[in-house]
Every structure is written in structure tokens, then in C-alpha cells.
Amino acid sequence: MSNFIVYSIVTSLVLTAVLNILPLLFPDAAAKVQKKIEENARHAVEQHEDADRPRVKVFFPWKAMLIGSIVLTVLVNVIGFLAR
């Protein structure tokens, strides 16, 4: 059980470091994301004003779910391999 706590703390530290280093490696990414969000918001407002379009829009993030599933599967297998 203590190994799990150690692995959790180490993983937390590594993820924190990665999330703090990524913006330094890709400084223009924040501006690109902001422009994309503004563009999507503008597009949503334009669609909302169009009376011919349906009011309900179904969003199913299948690509993100697939990528997340693959990443989590690999991560669980690596952790299981290292725990042996």
C-alpha cells in the first residue's frame, strides 16, 4: 500500500512539472487557443441567431475519448509493469 502512495506522489510531481514546463516550450499556444475559442464563440452566436437551424446540438467527443482510452490503457499497463 505504501508503494501506491509513493507512486501517486511521484506521478503528481511529474505531472505538475510537465504542466508548468509545457507553456515555456510552446509560448504561442495560449494565443492560438484563445483565438480558436473566440472563433468558436462567434460561430456559436451566429448559429444561435439563425432561426432555421435546430436549437439542440449534440456533441459527442469520440476522438478525445478514443485518445484518452489509449493513453490511459498504456499508462495503466506501464504502471502495472513497473509495480511487478
pLDDT of residue 68: 94
Give the model confidence (pLDDT) of 41-84 as tens digits: 998 888 777 667 666 777 788 889 999 999 999 999 999 999 88
pLDDT of residue 30: 79
pTM for the model: 0.37
- Alpha-carbon span 75 to 60, nearest angstrom: 24
Q: What share of the chain is helix, strand, coil (3-state, %, to 5)?
A: 80, 0, 20
The cell numbers describing 27, all together, are 509560448
Q: CA angle at residue 69 from 73 to 32, to 5 degrees?
A: 125
Instruction: Please report, for the chain, the start and end positions of each structural domain, with discontinuous segments joined by +.
Output: 2-83
pLDDT of residue 71: 95
